[in-house]
C-alpha cells in the first residue's frame, strides 16, 4: 500500500463520518493537500518504508524554507 492509497482510504472514512462537521472534513482534506504539495514523492512511497526520520527531515526542510523563525 502506498501513502497515497492510505490517504485516499483515510479521506473516504472522513467523508463517511457522521460525527465530523463539514469544516473538520475540509480541514483534513486541506492538510493532506498541503502534505502532497510539499512532499510530492511521498504519495508513491510504500507506507512501510516511510520512517519517523523521513518525516522529521521533511518538516525540517519545510520549516527552513517557509518559517521566518528558523
pLDDT in tens, 26-63: 999 999 999 999 999 999 999 999 999 999 999 998 88
Grid coordinates belonging to 52: 519517523
pLDDT at position 3 over 90: yes
User: How many domains does the structure of the chain reveal?
Assistant: 1
Q: What is the structure's pLDDT at 68?
A: 63
Segments forming the whole domain that contains residue 17: 3-66
d(CA 10, CA 23): 16
Q: What is the structure's pLDDT at 69?
A: 61
Q: Which residue has the higher pLDDT, 66 or 15?
A: 15
Nearest partner of 6 among 59, 50, 56, judged by Cα: 50
Q: What is the structure's pLDDT at 63?
A: 86
Amino acid at each position: 500500500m502506498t501513502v497515497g492509497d492510505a490517504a485516499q482510504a483515510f479521506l473516504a472514512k472522513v467523508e463517511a463520518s457522521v460525527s465530523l462537521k463539514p469544516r473538520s472534513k475540509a480541514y483534513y482534506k486541506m492538510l493532506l493537500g498541503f502534505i502532497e504539495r510539499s512532499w510530492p514523492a511521498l504519495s508513491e512511497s510504500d507506507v512501510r518504508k516511510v520512517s519517523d526520520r523521513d518525516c522529521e527531515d521533511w518538516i525540517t526542510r519545510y520549516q527552513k524554507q517557509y518559517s521566518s523563525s528558523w
